[in-house]
Amino acid sequence: MVVKEIPYFDLSEICDSGQCFRMERITENEFQIRAEDKYLRATQEGETVRFDCSEEEFETFWKHYFDLERDYGIYIEAIDPEDTYLKTAAELGSGIRILNQDLWEMIVSFLISQQNNIFRIRKCIDRISRRYGEEKRAADGTVYHAFPTAEALSQATEEELRDCNLGYRAKYVRDTALRVASGEVDLAVIRKMTYPEAREELLKLYGVGVKVADCICLMALHELSAFPVDTHIRQALEKHYPGGFPAKRYGGMEGVLQQYIFYYELIHKE
């Protein structure tokens, strides 16, 4: 067990922020997180967070995953005090962190996310993980599944992926899995690219549009300049920033602010 006092960190807000789809609420304050081939239970009361893992695993994986070495107070303090909308959104989602997630997992996740809601995305990813991911057992005995590899998904037919409720997105996932498994698409190379280069390369994947490419750049490559625009964000921009979002003022932190806006719009529409 690892216990930390962490400001600007809220497991509930992160869970509901739409950036990770294998994090689930167990009770009001307890969550389970599956990332890559790892499993974690975490509990939070105020700023006190308990991570049910070894100190070594926390230091080598989860600290980076949750981006805990970054001061998110800097982003909130940088908001224009006259921008009451953005200040309110940031206050509501002040515990959100931009997670450092696996590139392959995010490519598949956001291919599946198109024209989909968070609940259904989670169900789809759970189904492909159970069917094609390696079965694992956590230290507490919990049985879970690692996220399926490109090689595993490349063996699935489009019909089999449709059976996992992927719908028309099945052809996108299968095509990308085949290209990654064959080496035609090298994820290691994409990880080393600049944001514009990575975005351009991701747009070459079947089914990846601008919004999906930006989501992958933000959530997997941690390119904080990425500002994905979906329906929620577009409506917010039209209402609150008809002249365009002031990206120049917030250079290098647009993605963090995008998450505050997305979370605010998502919560207010529910």
Could you please report the per-residue DSSP string of 136-199? EE-TTS-EEEPPPPHHHHHTS-HHHHHTTT-GGGHHHHHHHHHHHHHTSS-HHHHHTS-HHHHH
CA distances from 32 to 119, 145, 177, 194 (A): 16, 13, 27, 32
Q: Is 33 helix (H, G, I), strand (E, B) or coil?
A: strand
Q: What is the CA radius of gyration of the chain?
A: 18
Catalytic annotation, pick one of 87, 192, 211, 248:
211
**Which among 27, 2, 137, 1 is positioned nearest to 11, based on CA atoms?**
27
Q: Which two tokens stand for residue 143?
A: 């049985």
Sheet holding 2-5, edge to edge: 2-5, 48-51, 38-45, 30-35, 23-25
Q: Is residue 211 flagged as an active site residue?
A: yes
The two structure tokens encoding residue 204: 């070459």
Residues in the chain: 270
List the catalytic residues.
211
